[in-house]
Amino acid sequence: MKKFEEKTIRTEEIFDGKVVKLQVDEVLLPNGKRSTRELIKHPGAVAVIPITKDNKIVFVEQFRKPLEKSLIEIPAGKLEPGEKPEITAIRELEEETGYTTSQLTFVTSFYTSPGFADELMYLYLSRDLEKVDQPLAPDEDEFVEIIELTLAEAKEYVSKERIHDAKTNYAIVYLELLERML
């Protein structure tokens, strides 16, 4: 018995899409009462903090439909079923930025919103970037623009909320910490 476990009495599948699935579970609470939980199933994702040889961070700007605006983020993408996160990371880096790398360091992983979603994000740091002559094309419904920034510039974008998502904000504070540790 896991602590505070909520046993599933019944699962109702509501939606099965190209990115997310939604189900509603009826659960038995630790106190014997019943409740419902709304659960988003997501394949998981990978993000890369790419650092160029002149110590700039490579970001991509893209429109985020849920927010009806564009954000500046580190390159990222969804895991394919059965794919190793490192493989996804290298591919998304090339597709979105035109860079590749032979050097990928695991930084951390985290659930993005464990209250309602199972999305797990893997975060890597990559140096020794090399421009690819004919990079892989992004997904056909993906439109991104590359922006290379110093850490100080990136912090400005955080304060203006142009950089404003969990993985990228994490990346910025992580890089600040790295800089202090040198």
73 catalytic residue (yes or no): no
**Does residue 102 belong to the site contacting a copy of itself (CB under 8 A)?**
no
Q: How far apart are CA 94 and CA 80, in angstroms?
A: 16
Only one of the segments 30-38, 48-56, 96-104, 124-132 lies at the binding site for a copy of itself (rule: CB under 8 A); that segment is 30-38
Site string for a copy of itself, 66-95 (x = CB under 8 A): xx-xxx-x--x-x-----------------
**64 interacts with a copy of itself by CB under 8 A:** yes
From candidates 103, 105, 108, 150, binder to a copy of itself by CB under 8 A:
108
Report whether 123 contacts 170 (CB < 8 A). Answer: yes
d(CA 90, CA 100) in angstroms, rounded, equals: 7
Taking the C-alpha atoms of residue 178 and residue 180, their distance in angstroms, rounded to an integer, is 5
Site map 138..167 versus a copy of itself, x via CB under 8 A? --xx-xxx------------x--x--xxxx
Q: Are 44 and 79 in contact (CB under 8 A)?
A: yes
